[in-house]
Amino acid sequence: MDKMMITGGRPLKGTVKVSGAKNAALPAIAACLLAPGKNILRNIPRLRDVDTIRKIMTQLGVEFTDHDGFIEVDAGTVKGYAAPYELVKTMRASILLLGPLLARSGRAKISLPGGCAIGERPVNLHLKALAAMGADLYLEHGYVNARSSGLKGTTIFFDIPTVTGTENIMMAAVTAHGNTIIKNAAKEPEIKDLAEMLRSMGAFIEGDGTDTISIQGTSGLKPAEHFVIPDRIEAGTFAIAAAMTGGDVTIEKCRPEHLTAVIEKVEASGAKVIQNEDSLSVKGPSTIESVDVKTMPFPGFPTDLQAQFMACMCIAKGWSMIRETIFENRFIHVSELKRMGAVIEINGNQALVKGQNQLQGAPVMATDLRASASLVLAGLVAGGTTEVHRIYHLDRGYEALEKKFAALGASIWREKV
Ligand code: EPU
């Protein structure tokens, strides 16, 4: 198991390129199941979660070939229909296979993702929507079993806008009989990206990016070529890091329009941000100002950057209030940040942060992907050396993070424990 070592105190300087978005790559790979033949996917990040979905789909008979700059996904023959516990337990997003497998094979057996560090994270809305489309679903021995002899379009209303739920239903609906309307759909850029991919496959989808998506089923899907959007969470992580280290960083290959709420908060913290079509420049202030943040579905401030922004607020001048409204337990980084000298008080879903002049390096434990990133950011500004343990969480969702930070001048390296 590796640990990340960081000696803090160096302002980040230079240029960094953002990788493809994990949360767009996973549904794009899953969507390849929908039609026989070879798909070409570009800008797929090298991540553990991507390896996991590839492993599951390989077991289903899908063939993956790596090329320079793209991967080929050949779903000519789909012979299996099960996603086993051993793999699903390492990545909840495996549930994304449910919709496309049902659509392609009329059968799916996916290990029910359990709770995870950040909350209970049920999939009841995915299951309810698929049942409304005519799927026969039952839970047995920890697995969701689903069968269908032909899904039917219908109107689905999500109580909560769910990102992977919306994606699952989009993938189930593109080959269903008739029209599906998803109301209170998620509006995240990853939804639009999946819709783009599905349209390239021949699907009829309208309204993606709004809260009502309508899909006209078709039997004529074919493989496609698709370029996955840049990772807005990775870009946001670099923007926050640049601000908090008082650095000067240009973040290339990103989409600033996906980061409006984040840019607004980074600017409010005192940083100077210049936006171009596909890049951002962030110049950090000499003193970070405190800023309140409330996580919201897109276009609000993303829950996936809450922990990183909290690390920034730990060294701000004054108090800030951080409210988490998406997941019920997404403050697990707080006790580790406190070990580095942060002063944070939690009350329900609110964290009151009292900024300190400086954090101190300490051994800390990563508990989930974004919490790990927040500890790395705290390490970049702490006095002395920080050791972040269990960084396999980071490898799930950040491509070569330490190499990218090191290229910006950070003193950061990986060690075997
Ligand atoms: N929810 C339900 N029932 C459901 C589905 C969701 O109650 O059937 C609730 C959840 O418990 C949560 C809220 O609805 O309170 C929103 O959850 P959502 O379903 O949107 O989350 P997700 O689809 O499981 C995706 C990302 C997460 C990101 C969230 C929110 C992927 C693969 N994962 O998860 O990414 O935090 O949307 O934006 O797209 C990460 O990358 O670190 C990560 C956790």
pLDDT for 122 equals 87
For residue 409, which of 16, 18, 13 has the smallest C-alpha distance? 13
Co-location of 300 and 165 in the same domain: no
Q: Ligand 1 pocket test: pick from 121, 166, 229 the residue with the most ligand atoms within 8 Å of its Cβ.
A: 121
Is residue 36 included in any domain, yes or no?
yes
Co-location of 126 and 143 in the same domain: yes
Is residue 235 included in any domain, yes or no?
no
**Residue 115 sits in a domain of what CATH number?**
3.65.10.10
Co-location of 13 and 72 in the same domain: no
Co-location of 60 and 187 in the same domain: yes
Q: Quick one: which atom of ligand 1 is closest to the CA of 188?
A: 38
Co-location of 10 and 26 in the same domain: no
Co-location of 221 and 367 in the same domain: no
Pocket residues for ligand 1 (CB within 6 Å)?
22-23, 26, 93, 119, 121-126, 160, 162-165, 186, 190, 303-304, 326-327, 369-370, 397
Q: Quick one: which atom of ligand 1 is closest to the CA of 167?
A: 23
Q: Distance from the CA of 207 to the center of ligand 1, in angstroms?
A: 20
Co-location of 14 and 42 in the same domain: no
Is residue 274 included in any domain, yes or no?
no
Co-location of 153 and 293 in the same domain: no
Output the residue whose Cα is nearest ligand 1's atom 10: 121
Q: Distance from the CA of 200 to the center of ligand 1, in angstroms?
A: 26
Q: Ligand 1 pocket test: pick from 158, 163, 188 the residue with the most ligand atoms within 8 Å of its Cβ.
A: 163
pLDDT for 367 equals 86
In Å, how far are 30, 42, 150, 284 from 57, measured between CA atoms? Answer: 8, 18, 22, 43
pLDDT for 114 equals 63
Helix (H) or strand (E) holding 52: helix 48-59
**Distance between alpha carbon 50 and the CA centroid of its chain, in Å?**
12
pLDDT for 113 equals 81
Please give the residue range of the domain that contains residue 402. 2-18+287-416
Is residue 131 included in any domain, yes or no?
yes
Q: Distance from the CA of 321 to the center of ligand 1, in angstroms?
A: 23
Task: Write the CB contacts of 123 (distance below 8 Å, at least 6 apart in sequence).
Answer: 95, 112, 113, 144, 165
Rounded-to-integer distance, Cα 115 and Cα 89, Å:
10
Location of structure tokens 């991507």: 50
Per-residue b or e along 279-298, where b marks 16 or more CB atoms closer than 10 Å to that residue's CB: bbbbbbeeebbbbebebebb
Q: Quick one: which atom of ligand 1 is closest to the CA of 125?
A: 8
* pLDDT lower than 50: segments of the chain: none
Q: Distance from the CA of 76 to the center of ligand 1, in angstroms?
A: 30
Co-location of 55 and 152 in the same domain: yes
Q: Distance from the CA of 303 to the center of ligand 1, in angstroms?
A: 9
Domain final residue pick, 227, 242, 273? 227
Is residue 35 included in any domain, yes or no?
yes
Q: Is 160 exposed, middle or buried (0-12, 13-18, 19+ CB in 10 A)?
A: exposed
In Å, how far are 104, 198, 313, 326, 400 from 182, measured between CA atoms? Answer: 20, 16, 38, 20, 37
Rounded-to-integer distance, Cα 175 and Cα 331, Å:
40
pLDDT for 117 equals 73
To the nearest whole percent, how much of the chain has pLDDT over 70?
99
Is residue 269 included in any domain, yes or no?
no
Rounded-to-integer distance, Cα 345 and Cα 338, Å:
10
Co-location of 43 and 131 in the same domain: yes
Domain final residue pick, 208, 227, 246? 227
Output the residue whose Cα is nearest ligand 1's atom 11: 121
Q: How many domains does the chain have?
A: 2
Q: Quick one: which atom of ligand 1 is closest to the CA of 298?
A: 38
| Stated pTM of the model | 0.97
Q: How many CA atoms lie within 13 A of 327 on its CB side?
A: 21
Co-location of 30 and 154 in the same domain: yes
Rounded-to-integer distance, Cα 386 and Cα 373, Å:
13
Is residue 143 included in any domain, yes or no?
yes
Co-location of 79 and 203 in the same domain: yes
Cis peptide before 161 (omega within 30 of 0): no
Is residue 253 included in any domain, yes or no?
no
